[in-house]
Chain A
Amino acid sequence: MYKVSRTGRRALSAGAAVATATLLVAGCSGNASQGSGSAGSDSTLVFGITADPTQMVPWTSTSEQSIQVLSQVYSTLLDTDADHNPIAGLAELPKISADGMTYTFALKKGLKFTNGSALDATDVKYTFDKIMDPDSKASSRSYFASVAGVQAPDPNTVVVKLKKPDASFPVGLTGVNTGIVPSDVAVDSLETKPVGSGPYQFVSRTPNESITLQRNPDFSEGKPGAAKLEFRIIPDDQSMVSALKTGSIDVAVFDNPVTAKTATSDKVKVDTVSSLQYHVLQLRAAAPVLTNVNARLAIQCAIARKEVVDSAALGAGDITGPITSPEFKSDPDAQPCATQDLAKAKDYLAKAGKPGGFALNLITSQGLYSTAVNEAQNVQAQLGKVGIKVNVQTLDSNTYVQKWLAGDFEAAIAQNGGSADPNTMYARYFTSTGSYNKVAGYSSPELDKLFAEGIATTDTAKRQAIYKQLSDQLVNNAAWVWLFTPKEFIAVNTKVKNFEARSDASLSTLWKASLS
């Protein structure tokens, strides 16, 4: 037995020696954690993203990563200020005709694409015509629903004629999915080699690994802060945090408050920004169990929104009403039950003819955003107090999207996109002909009338009054139960200078950032 054990020991020590040697060789063969790049004008700013962008042509972009990358490559006709209001971009703010039917845009002088060709009115007309093409793959096509035609009377002027007044039209022109592409480059080639007029120009892409851009010296708004900008794909959030802490990446955006907390250190500063997006308990009034307005109001009264924010989203949110657009923001307390009122909830249940409560199916998905399932469970617990038995169905994101689009649910936890314009936010959901009306499950002649008035009015004060009524209609009928606007967390290495954290984690001013 002695010899066996000696063989064992020998084998063990040989194994250990080889393993140690391998680790040592690897460990000594270079210092990996050099940081993202040398400072100054030759620096590379590294932005961590969790997935490969799925679209590379601006008008098809829908995924977060595509929008982040393409917003650095393409420019839009109009830009936004910190409050999301349209400001001059490639063009000055438009002159609007008295009848609100004609928008005239004057392009800035000397605009160029990164391939050297001039950016003029022909390119704008080409881009908008492509978006409006019925066969296009454009996700931004609905922004042009009121447009009759686009003209380019001279190289610096773009004229857009509308079929009917549409006060929300300019807001659509600020999104990267209306970014201007060159008319002399084939769309197919843009899929693999984007050509824009944004702060950075495309250099290379390694699928599943990274996208590298370099400074565009002809950028119309100034000299971008970094010589190179790399979007590096690190799929795991915690791995991203480790990469931030060792200085391998410089900037990353998180939606999970716990992850954001672990990222904070002496080398990483985390900015918390608000969002125009909103988390909502969608109720489909079209579903038999929710047809009675009192049943929906009972749900509104039984939910303590603060509790949803505090326990499910760990405090990372602000309670909200329907409209999140800064200029038209709803008062979150202007609704029948601004805080939880169980007695009132029971009254409504009695009025609905269901004093003992009812059963409700609620869909949610782990793949939507980090706190979706927690929110569903919190709502389930709260509604249970008044006898509403919630059956939570946690679906994979594809199944969820499929059911959501088909309106195949009674209630859903959702995070929906916001906009600087309330018409863009809700006309698609709550007008009887809206593309998502089946999803919203609620419409009324009053709402149709208010939406029509809102879009035809250009005076901001008058519009505010209209959208206040519209917001009241939505909450008084408990069309949905609006919960909160989430927070987003932008983690930035302290070496990065001139970075402006913007709400919605918008990267419209990322070009100013540089490394010290």
Chain B
Amino acid sequence: MMYLRHPITRRVGEAVLTLVGVSVLTFVLLRVVPGNQITASYGTAAGELSPEQVRSLEAYYGLDKSLPVQYFDWLRGVLTGNLGVSTTSHVSVAQLTGQALPNTIELAVLSILVGLLLGVPLGVLAASRPGKSRDNLTQLSSLLALSVPSFLLATVLASWLANNFGWYPNGEGFRTLVQDPGLNLQQMILPVLVLGISIAPPVLQTTRTAILAIRAEDYVRTARAKGVPERRLQTRHILRNALIPVVTMTGLQFGFLLGGALVAEQIFAIPGIGRQVLLGLTQKEYAVVQSTVLIIATMFVLVNLLTDLVYRVVDPKARVR
């Protein structure tokens, strides 16, 4: 029974339990909210459907079965690789996700990159003279970036560029990185900038706090006393250790972005996974929402596992634990 106590087995077990919990919660929440696919699809015109029509629609959408049967039917499908079909576009959820997921991943990776490129150097800069003007200035700009809501920044940026420079690539039909890399990257600039700006402040704060804390550690003083060159001390001893909490936070942010880049996707017309869930929710496409949320949750869990592994590389102590 020792293998059950192994940290990796335990983590995998927790992950599976989390996913089951997520699937049950999504299933229940979807059905607690008033309305069903018939009212979502027909709106007020549902009142003109005859009882026979309603019965036949219920059968079509699978609403005539009991809730446990609906859940296990869906679960059986998922376990056998059938994530369901969107009844509005008549495309399988697997295919929809296959199209949407790469766009969201691209958006998330680039946004994290921009967030790190802005946040880490500024954090280092802020920590270099704590309490002095450059620290205050970076703190102030980070507060400003945090206070401006993403949707506002997105809308203002888009309108300003379109009005003054006649430039708004997101009005063109979306092209993937494979179809047209040039246009794709242009279409990613605005959403990545908006998301990157919202990710940078927490990265900045974490970097700054960590550097300041580590700089006061005994081992840094010892290293300095031993004559470790200052540059090596800064990079290998301080920055490297300061990055541990940054990695953890980045992993979490990345997970959130996979499911929650909705504002950017919606405003900048990026056909990603967030919009897929939103569309499923408004149309009450149960299979689309349940399966997509499960996919997002799975990725979230995987990213967290991965973060733990990276953590082990960055932080030797974690390897021992």
Q: Do A and B interact with each other, yes or no?
A: yes
Give the B-binding residues of A (Cβ under 8 A).
1, 3-5, 7-9, 11-16, 18-19, 22-23, 25-27, 29-30, 32-33, 51-56, 62-63, 134-139, 141-142, 191-192, 205-210, 230, 232-236, 238-249, 262, 265, 396-399, 401-405, 416, 428, 435-436, 439
**Docked complex Cα distance between A230 and B181 (Å):** 22
Pairwise interchain contact B53-A29, C-beta atoms closer than 8 A: no
Q: Is B91 an interface residue (CB 8 A)?
A: yes
Which residue of A has the minimal Cβ distance to B41?
A: A54
Which residue of A has the minimal Cβ distance to B118?
A: A15
Known contacts A242-B168, A435-B47; decide if A398 and B283 are in contact (CB<8 Å).
no
Known contacts A3-B234, A239-B171, A399-B35; decide if A137 and B53 are in contact (CB<8 Å).
yes
Q: Is B230 an interface residue (CB 8 A)?
A: yes
Q: Is B145 an interface residue (CB 8 A)?
A: no
**10 chain-A/chain-B pairs, Cβ below 8 angstroms:** A1-B128, A29-B181, A54-B283, A134-B50, A207-B96, A234-B170, A236-B268, A242-B170, A245-B168, A402-B35
Within 8 A of A (CB), among B74-122: 86, 88-91, 96, 99-100, 114, 117-118, 120-122
Query: Which listed residue (A8, A33, A54, A249) contacts B166, Cβ 8 A?
Result: A33
Pairwise interchain contact B124-A12, C-beta atoms closer than 8 A: yes
**Docked complex Cα distance between A142 and B47 (Å):** 11
Pairwise interchain contact A439-B173, C-beta atoms closer than 8 A: no
Pairwise interchain contact A399-B34, C-beta atoms closer than 8 A: yes
Pairwise interchain contact B186-A246, C-beta atoms closer than 8 A: no
Pairwise interchain contact B53-A398, C-beta atoms closer than 8 A: no
Known contacts A33-B169, A205-B89; decide if A62 and B186 are in contact (CB<8 Å).
no
Pairwise interchain contact B39-A405, C-beta atoms closer than 8 A: yes
Interface 0/1 of B120-134, CB less than 8 Å to A: 111011011100000
**Docked complex Cα distance between A56 and B182 (Å):** 33
Give the A-binding residues of B (Cβ under 8 A).
33-35, 39-50, 52-53, 56-57, 60, 86, 88-91, 96, 99-100, 114, 117-118, 120-122, 124-125, 127-129, 155, 158-159, 161-163, 166-174, 180-183, 185-189, 230-231, 234-235, 239, 266-269, 271, 275-276, 279, 282-284
**A-chain residues with CB within 8 Å of residue B186 when the two chains form the complex:** 26-27, 29-30, 32
**B-chain residues with CB within 8 Å of residue A3 when the two chains form the complex:** 230-231, 234
**Docked complex Cα distance between A250 and B169 (Å):** 15
**B-chain residues with CB within 8 Å of residue A13 when the two chains form the complex:** 121
Pairwise interchain contact A54-B269, C-beta atoms closer than 8 A: no
Chain B nearest CB from A460 CB (Å) reads 26
Which residue of A has the minimal Cβ distance to B272?
A: A208
Pairwise interchain contact A11-B155, C-beta atoms closer than 8 A: no
Which residue of B has the minimal Cβ distance to A7?
A: B234
Chain B nearest CB from A365 CB (Å) reads 11
Pairwise interchain contact B117-A135, C-beta atoms closer than 8 A: no
